[in-house]
Amino acid sequence: MSNSASAYDLTPEKESDRLATFTLLVDNEAGVLHRVVGLFSGRGYNIESLTVAETDRKSHTSRITVVTRGAPHVLEQIEAQLGKVISVRKVKDVEGDPQAVQRELALIKVKGSGQERIEALRLADIFRAKVIDTTLESFVFELTGATDKIDSFIELMRPLGLVELSRTGVLSIERGAVSGS
């Protein structure tokens, strides 16, 4: 097993590695995303998922959600380094936080006819996937939920004729009253 910290090191993850979902509230200005991603690439950390969008036009803020994996001490370093990035107002690791709601959206194209088509529709119903496009040869399903739910649906669709998929990456927000930022 390699000891490389490279994002391109495809060796299996270590048992001590854990998932982290960092939410960042940032100033909505040019270069912020570049600085955040640069922090990861410059240190060889891998980004498993990245989402970003403006959240409040009046306060000129955006939310960035970054999912990564690493040893606990490395994740603590990442969180501290993210907090030092210019234009980052707030950083929080919400993985495992009971106050955090995390969801992902996927569009999944499945081909099929006959029994495979019927089975794909049955599974879609069980997973509450919505059919957003259909032809005589295929479906496009929209599925929202936890990453594990989407992963499970995708694995069940593979033998039925999975053609293509697109995922948003994880989004996260805190439950309850406004947190102030």
pLDDT at 66: 94
Residue-wise pLDDT tens digits, 16-40:
789 999 999 999 999 999 999 999 9
Model pTM score:
0.78
Beta strand residue intervals within 57-129, DSSP E = 61-70, 88-93, 100-111
Q: pLDDT value at position 14? A: 64
Q: Which two tokens stand for residue 47?
A: 């980004």
Q: Which residue segments constitute the domains of the chain, with CATH numbers given?
A: 18-93 (3.30.70.260), 100-171 (3.30.70.1150)
79-134: per-residue pLDDT in tens? 999 999 989 999 999 998 888 999 999 999 999 888 999 999 999 999 999 999 99
Q: How confident is the model at residue 12 (pLDDT cuts 50, 70, 90)?
A: low
Answer for the pair 23, 36: CB distance below 8 angstroms, yes or no.
no
Identify the three-state secondary structure at position 58: coil
**In this predicted model, what pLDDT tens digit does every residue of 65-84 receive, in sequence order?**
999 999 999 999 999 999 99
- Digit-coded pLDDT (tens) for 159-177: 999 999 999 989 998 888 7
| pLDDT at residue 180 tops 60 | no
Cross-sheet strand order for the sheet of 61-70 = 49-56, 61-70, 18-27, 88-93
Residue 7 is predicted with a pLDDT of: 45
